[in-house]
Chain A
Amino acid sequence: MYTFLLSKIEVGSHYYINFSESLHLHGETVFVSSLVVFVMSLFLIVSTSNLQRVPSTLQSLGEVVYDLVKSIAITQMGPSYYSQFLPFIATIFLFVLGSNLAGALIPWKFIEISSGELAAPTNDINTTACLAILTSLSYFSAGLKIKGIGFFKRYIKPAPFFLPLNIVEDFSKPLSLNFRLFGNVVADELTVAVICSLVPLIVPLPVMMLGLFASSLQALIFATLAAAYIGEVIE
């Protein structure tokens, strides 16, 4: 394995924490994603701990997030089933949003580590693959739980010869979720890095703003698609 180094842009180099020959962690990803989980949990706990009729700023923010996630879940899954899957959708949304914003907002460049660099956890394809596989598992379990054995009828849904197509779809769904999120986050960072290497001042700022916007949109899209996939099997 080798990596090209084009004007200090690194893709695919990590700070490895080795446990044994074949088992290792990507240290920077684990660190930043634990930070994201911690901050998001803290935000949710603080914003819902002291509920008032006239909400404080933090509580209003929590309510906005709740309304957004609930409207995604209701439009995709219908009013009778959404409440079972709302926690999952909300978790996905908050984690992806938190990690994308952590990568875009916090100036990680100030912290030097020996190899790789601190960035958004979704910058690592393993994180997004994990999220996509979780989505895939959750729609299987949702279908089996709600429809029972009748869940497998959807594989021969329009006509029996659609069976191979439907099976391929089960693999292509997590793959496309995975690549969409990973590609968008990496594309943002690469664009900023390339423009920074050409013109380091002021010019990258609008691109960074676009990246901030696009990364919050990606969180919305990931949550919407996860909800849509679950809604598709339980309808």
Chain B
Amino acid sequence: MVDSTIAAASVIAAAIAVGFAGIGPGIGQGNAAGQAVEGIARQPEAEGKIRGTLLLSLAFMESLTIYGLVVALSVLFANPFAG
């Protein structure tokens, strides 16, 4: 059976990993989306191009959060310390 201290610590670690990984990309995505809206408002005819670039860069920022999620998942489901 799993040591209960390790299980509890793993769950807390997973929560912290996802939570903190969300902060930076959240700020970044907000900035990017804001700038994109500004760009569209200034130049409505460039909307298609701006949207494409925005989606691509949002997905790149998203992947930073996903790294946190991968750490959380490996802590929860493939914990190396849980014997």
Contact = CB atoms under 8 A, between A and B. Distances in A.
Interface stretch (B25-33, B34-42, B43-51, B62-70): B62-70
B77 A220 contact: no
Give the bracket for the number of chain A residues in contact with chain B.
20 to 34
Given A2-B2, A182-B70, A183-B69, A176 B77 contact: no
Interface in A174-190: 176, 179-180, 182-184, 186-187, 190
A14 to B, nearest CB: 12
A190 B73 CA distance: 10
B interface SS class: helix
Contacts, number: 49
Given A179-B70, A183-B69, A183-B70, A4 B63 contact: no
A82 B28 CA distance: 32
A183 B56 contact: no
B66 A187 contact: yes
Across the A-B interface, the 5 shortest Cβ-Cβ residue pairs: A183-B66, A180-B63, A11-B77, A183-B70, A12-B77
Interface of A: 1-4, 11-12, 176, 179-180, 182-184, 186-187, 190, 214, 217-218, 220-221, 224
